Amino acid sequence: LSYGRVLANGLALGLSGKYLQEDLADNSGYGVDAGLLLKPYDELTFGAMVRDLTGKIGDDVTPWEARLGLGVLPWKHITLSADLIKVKQMDATAAIGGAYNVDITDKTSFYLAAGLNDVVGTSCFTAGFGIGFNNFAIQYAYVTEPEEFLQENHRLSVNFYFKDKNPLKSLMGTLKREKKPCEPCAPKPEGPKEFIHRYIFEGNPSLKLSLELLRPAQKDSIKAIWAETGGVVSFPGVNFATGSADITDDFARVLDGAAQLINEHPEIQLLEIQGHTDNTGTDAINNPLSQARADAVRNYLISRGVDQNRLVAKGFGSGKPVASNATEQGRYQNRRIDIVRVR
């Protein structure tokens, strides 16, 4: 049984308790593991853990194992890792590995992994794969052991998640540099940001607060603007990956400003996060997708310090359009998140 919690941006704690059963010696026991994750950048993660921090098997105290790890994301879907390992009363060793991870759907993921344990000694090979779903995951590993009598073995595990997993956000964002515009290049077609400013923000008072969220220094006008909009602020356009409830980096930066302003205005007691879609697809797809997106925005704002009691989330599917779904521009406006002040 494991428990994980995000302590702050880029920092998470994990605890695990386990029951041990050893058939070779007909023993049983228990163990407790603990670990920390530090994620300063999107592409860089540090980890530290102690396995069997306390525990026994039979009449013997289980020897602890400490690990320091580094994970690097050099390319999309690819993770490279290195661990320094120290077991009680044994020499330190190291392990290296790599993994390929991809999201098959918005609720299903798949990974392949391989590595070498004890690279300074016997260099035992290990490999495996896993499939993750919304509330559980299945994993398989092939392991060669340094002890000759153990030889090679196969491991199968099933993990159940009793609460939705929230991804750990990095402390300082990405290390990647933004590409500079190429002046000689031909002009690009109008994209989402240009469309928003040209067709949506202009002359639409219900979206003025969105602009204020991008300029938090002008927070003094928030109360008047919210009154003018009737207590509704909309975020239209491509705020999520297609068919997914994963918040894009650009939208995350806007929500950072939203969280800051909500925290600076305690007179706002309750907000409803509303998810909306266009009419592309069926209600069986759009309704749960809009709810998942509203939940994702609520969880993100909570992770940025907004009191969870001030936020509720509700998905409306394609049932509340603000423009005609007959045009691409109208569908663009209908794919949105609304933040509505209830009181």
199 DSSP 8-state letter: I
Q: Do residues 278 and 324 lie in contact, with contact meaning Cβ atoms separated by under 8 Å?
A: no
For 2-160, CATH number?
2.40.160
> What distance in Å separates the CA atoms of residue 337 and residue 297, rounded to the nearest whole number?
8
Q: Do residues 154 and 140 lie in contact, with contact meaning Cβ atoms separated by under 8 Å?
A: yes
> Between the CA atoms of 167, 171, 173 and 177, what dihedral angle is there, to the nearest 10 degrees?
-140
Q: What pLDDT score does 175 carry?
A: 76
Q: What is the pLDDT of residues 15-56, one digit of tens each?
A: 999 888 777 667 888 989 999 999 988 889 999 999 888 888
Q: Do residues 39 and 168 lie in contact, with contact meaning Cβ atoms separated by under 8 Å?
A: yes
196: helix, strand or coil? helix
Q: What pLDDT score does 187 carry?
A: 43
Q: What pLDDT score does 35 carry?
A: 93
Q: What pLDDT score does 120 carry?
A: 66
Q: What is the CA radius of gyration of the chain?
A: 25
Instruction: Examine domains 2-160 and 192-341 and report if their fold is the same.
Output: no
| pLDDT mean for each 10 residues of the chain (343 residues) | 84 88 77 92 91 86 91 90 88 90 84 83 83 87 73 83 70 68 44 38 42 41 50 59 73 77 79 86 87 90 90 90 83 80 77
Q: What is the pLDDT of residues 142-192, one digit of tens each?
A: 988 766 656 788 888 888 877 666 677 777 877 776 555 444 444 444 333
Q: What pLDDT score does 45 carry?
A: 93
Please, what's the b/e burial string for 270-288 (b: 16 or more CB within 10 A of its CB; e: otherwise)? ebbbbbbbbbeeeeeebbb
Task: Choose which CATH entry (3.40.50.620, 3.60.21.10, 3.40.50.720, 3.30.1330.60) describes domain 192-341.
Answer: 3.30.1330.60
How many other CB atoms are found less than 10 A from the CB of residue 51? 20
Q: What pLDDT score does 153 carry?
A: 82
For the chain, domain boundaries:
2-160, 192-341
198 DSSP 8-state letter: I
User: What are 2-8's contacts with CB under 8 Å, separation 24+?
Assistant: 6/166, 6/168, 6/303
